[in-house]
Amino acid sequence: MALTPLICPSILASDFARLGEEVRALEAAGADWIHVDVMDGHFVPNITLGPDIVKAIRPHTSLPFDVHLMVAPVDPWLEAFREAGADVLTVHPESGPHLHRTLGRIRQLGAKAGVVFNPATPLSILEEVVDLVDLVLIMSVNPGFGGQKFIDSSLRKIAGARAILDRAGSAAHLQVDGGVTSANAGACVAAGADALVAGSFVFKGDYATNIAALKAAPAAGQNVP
């Protein structure tokens, strides 16, 4: 039986003028997590939102907030986003000098700790911190903007991350973000992912229909064309 992945819509693609309504609609539509992309205009070439926005939308849903910090340096922001309501804090190895310490600090704050791998970031880093991660995020685009095309070679990276997690006996989630649609969701899950971030695909059209399509794609055996 095919795995039904967690669907984590990215509010980067939502209507920022009505964020509270948007996260309520996503929960009603069957989303599992809310993915929050935080960009600082320095680590990535875009600026999105800060902890005050996360705090403002936190009362509008009971779903976990999966906060992807594209911020450098990242350490000074961990506490603020945790206090604002983040349940998962995911960081890039390049966003601070001591990844091991950063992941440990996230756990000390009572959040789940995640690490993100950009297309050019080597998976060997995961071997060194696998005991500290609750989530591994494989970027299937270069971070900074929504609506980009899925990089097909990311499937090999997903499979590589899954092998590392399995060897370590890790229960960490393996998430994919970037250009995810119902056409490639099956391939992502087949490669080892169990959580899918989708922005543009979910928000273009009926949310419930699109989320259901992502959940059903692995069972239908849909792959990257």
What is the mean pLDDT of the segment spanning 68-86? 98
pLDDT above 90: residue 225: no
Catalytic residue among 32, 37, 75, 134: 37
SS3 134: coil
Residues 29, 51 contacting (CB under 8 angstroms): no
Structure confidence by residue, pLDDT tens digits, 124-168 = 999 999 999 999 999 999 987 777 899 999 999 999 999 999 999
In this prediction, residue 218 carries a pLDDT of 80
* pLDDT of 1 strictly over 60: no
Which amino acid belongs to residue 128? E
**Predicted confidence band at 207 (pLDDT cuts at 50, 70, 90)?**
very high
Element counts in the chain: helices (H) and strands (E): 9, 8
Task: Check pLDDT > 90 for residue 169.
Answer: yes
pLDDT class of 10 with cuts at 50, 70, 90: very high
Percent of the chain with pLDDT over 90: 92
pLDDT band at residue 220 using 50, 70 and 90 as cut-offs: low
Residue tagged active-site, from 32, 40, 134, 177:
177
Residue of 113, 44, 45, 90 lying closest to 197 (CA atoms): 90
Cβ neighbours for 144, distance < 8 A, ≥ 6 positions apart? 39, 44, 45, 46, 70
Read off the DSSP letter of residue 62.
-
Annotated active-site residue 37? The verdict is yes
Percent of the chain past pLDDT 70, that is, above it, reads 96
Q: What is the pTM for the complete model shown?
A: 0.94
C-alpha gyration radius of the chain = 16
Task: Give yes or no for residue 95 having a pLDDT over 50.
Answer: yes
- With a cut of 80, say whether residue 43 has pLDDT above it: yes
Question: Catalytic site residue 75?
Answer: no
